[in-house]
Chains A and B, each alone.
Chain A
Amino acid sequence: MPAPAWVVQIVSSFVKIFVLLAVFLTLFALMSVLERKILGRIQNRYGPNRVGPFGLLQPVADGIKMLIKEDIVPARADKLLHFLAPILIAAAAILALGVIPYGRNMTPFTIDGGILFFFAVGSTTELAVFMAGWGSNNKFSMLGAMRAIAQMISYELPLIITVLPVVMVVGSLTPDRIVAAQAGYTLGLVPRWFVFTPWGATAFILFFVSGLVESNRTPFDVPEGESEIVAGHMTEYSGFKYATFFLAEYLGMFAITGLAATLFLGGWHSPLSALEFIPSYVWFFAKLSALLLVYIWLRGTLPRTRIDQIMNFAWKFMLPMSFTCVIAAAVWHYAGRGLRGWLWSFVVIAIVYTALSMLLDTQRKFAPRTYRFAE
C-alpha cells in the first residue's frame, strides 16, 4: 500500500533537510580548519596541527569547547532578542542553501522564483544582526550592528542588480532554468557560461565583491573590526551562541558562492564536453571550493578597508557598473548573442568603466583627509 501524498511530501522534505545540513555542516568543519591552515601558510606558520592527523579533528575539539563553555548573558541585555538573534541568522543562511541546484536534478526545493527567495531570505539577516546588536545593550555591539546594516543594505543593491542581466537573458527566476541555459559549448570547446561574456564577467566580479561584503569577510569586515569595536554585534556572545554566528557566517558564504557558481559559472555543467562523465555534483562542489579558496586567499592578503571607503565604493562605482551590466546584456541580446554582441557589450562596459575612473579621479594624489561630523 503506497503512503498518502502528504506523508511522502513531509518525509521527502525531511530527507532533503537532513542531507543539506549534513553536507554543509561537514563542509563548515572542513572549511574552518582549511582556512586556518592556509592562513597559517600565508603568514609563514603551521596552523593547527595537534588534534588528529594534520589537525583535521580541530573542528571537533572546537565544537566540544564551544558546547561546554559558559553561556554569558549580560544583566542589562534584552534576554529574548539576545537569544533569538543567532537562531534567526543561522536559519536564514540555511534556508538560502535550499534553492541552489547542486547537480543534475539535485535542487532541494524547486521554487518558481528561487532567486528571489534567496534574496528575500537573505534580507532578514539584517534584522537579525540588528537584534544581536541592540539586544546586547552594549555600545560596541550597537556600533557593529549599525556598520553591518549600513554596508549590507548598500551592497544588496549591486548584488541584486548584477543578477538582473542573467535573469533577463534567461527569462526565468528559477535556478534550474538558469543552469540549463548555460549548457552546451561554443565551437565544441568553450562552455556557454555567462562568465565568458563581457557583461557576465563584469557582473560576476561585482557579484563576488558584493558577496564578500554581505558575508562580512576580510577586506570588508569593519562590522567585526577587532581592533576598534572588539567583535561588533558578537561582542556579548559566548559559547555556543557565538559558534552559531560563526556557523551562519560560513553557511552564508557557501550560499553566496553557490549562487555565484550557479549564475555565472554554469552551475553543475562541466568545463569540457570530454569531462562530462564526472558526476555533475562534483563539478558544482569543485567550483564552490575554488571560490571559497579565493575567499581565504583574499583574507590572507588584503588589509581591512575603512567604512567610508566601503560606502563610497558601493555608491559611486559598484552601482553604476552593475547598471552598465544590465545595459550591456541587453546590447548583447539585441546584437545577436554572437561575436558581434560580444564586441558591442565589451565596448559599452569599457566606455562606462573608463568614464567612471576618470570621473572618480582615481589618479588623484594623496591629500590630508577632511573630517565631517554630524551636528
Chain B
Amino acid sequence: MSSAAFVLIAILTLAAALAAATLQNLMHAALSFAVALVGVAAFFFLLGAEFVGLVLVFVYIGAVAVLIVFTILLTRRDVGNDRGANWGGAFLAVAVFGGLAWAVFKTQSIAIGAPHIRTLTVKRIGEALMTSYVWPLQCVGLLLTAALIGALVLVMEEKR
C-alpha cells in the first residue's frame, strides 16, 4: 500500500514541478511550485517524519509561497505571458543532472541492511536542537533577528 502511495505522490510531485518550470503564466507556475512542495511534505509523512513534513508545509506553503506570489505581484506589470525559453537555465539544469547522475553511477553500491531507527518524535528533535545543535540554532536566530531589524530600517520614516 505504501509503494502505491509513493508512486501516486511521486507522479503528483513531478507533474507539479514540471508545471512550475514550464507554465507560461507566472502565477500558475508559482502555485504549482506550492503543490510540488506539498508532494515533498507528503513523502516525509510517508517516511514517518511527521515533524519535518509539517514544518515543510508550514514554512514553504505558509511563508515562502506567499512571499513568491507577492514578489511576482509587486514587481511585474504583466503577470501573464512571459515568453521565451531560458536556454542558460536549461543548460545548467542538464549539467547539474548529468553531474549528479555521474556521481550516483560512479558510487559503489554497498549492500547493508536498513539500520534500526528510533521513531523521530518532536521531543527527540527538540533535544537535539537544544544540546548538540544549539550554536547553529542561535546563529539562525541572530540572522533572522538581523533580517527583521533590516526590514524595519528599510521602511522607517525618513526625518525631513
Contacts and interface: CB of A to CB of B under 8 A. Distances in A.
A134 B122 contact: no
Report the contact-size class of chain A (Cβ under 8 Å from the partner): 20 to 34
Contacts of B73: 134
Interface in B49-87: 50-51, 54-55, 57-58, 61-63, 65-66, 69-70, 73
A259 B27 CA distance: 34
Nearest to B61: A124
A331 interface: no
A120 B57 CA distance: 6
Contacts of B62: 120, 123-124, 126-127, 156
Interface stretch (A21-29, A111-119, A221-229, A286-294): A111-119
A130 B74 CA distance: 13
A119 B57 CA distance: 10
Given A124-B57, A153-B66, A172 B50 contact: no
Interface string A127-166: 1001100100000000000000100010010000000000
A52 interface: no
Contacts of A123: 57-58, 61-63
Given A171-B123, A173-B122, A120 B58 contact: yes
Contacts of A172: 122-123
A123 B56 CA distance: 11
Nearest to A9: B1
Contacts of B69: 127, 130, 134
Contact of A134 (B27, B55, B57, B63): B27
Nearest to A142: B73
B145 interface: no
B147 to A, nearest CB: 15
Contacts of A111: 50
A6 interface: yes
A123 B38 CA distance: 13
A6 B65 contact: no
Contact of A6 (B1, B57, B58, B121): B1
Contacts of A121: 57
A283 B125 CA distance: 34
Contacts of A130: 66, 69
Contact of B65 (A112, A116, A127, A173): A127
A121 B122 CA distance: 18
Nearest to B157: A372
Interface string B26-42: 01100100100000000
A130 B65 CA distance: 11
A134 B66 CA distance: 12
A156 to B, nearest CB: 8
Contact of A112 (B1, B63, B66, B122): B122
A112 B119 CA distance: 11
A173 B31 CA distance: 30
Contacts of B50: 111-113, 117
A284 B6 CA distance: 38
Interface of A: 6, 78, 80-81, 111-113, 116-117, 119-121, 123-124, 126-127, 130-131, 134, 149, 153, 156, 171-173, 372
Interface of B: 1, 25, 27-28, 31, 34, 50-51, 54-55, 57-58, 61-63, 65-66, 69-70, 73, 121-123, 157
Given A120-B58, A127-B66, A153-B66, 8 more contacts: A112-B121, A116-B51, A120-B54, A127-B62, A130-B69, A149-B66, A172-B122, A372-B157
* Complex A-B, nearest 8 residue pairs according to Cβ-Cβ distance, in ascending order: A123-B62, A120-B57, A120-B58, A116-B54, A120-B54, A173-B122, A113-B122, A124-B61
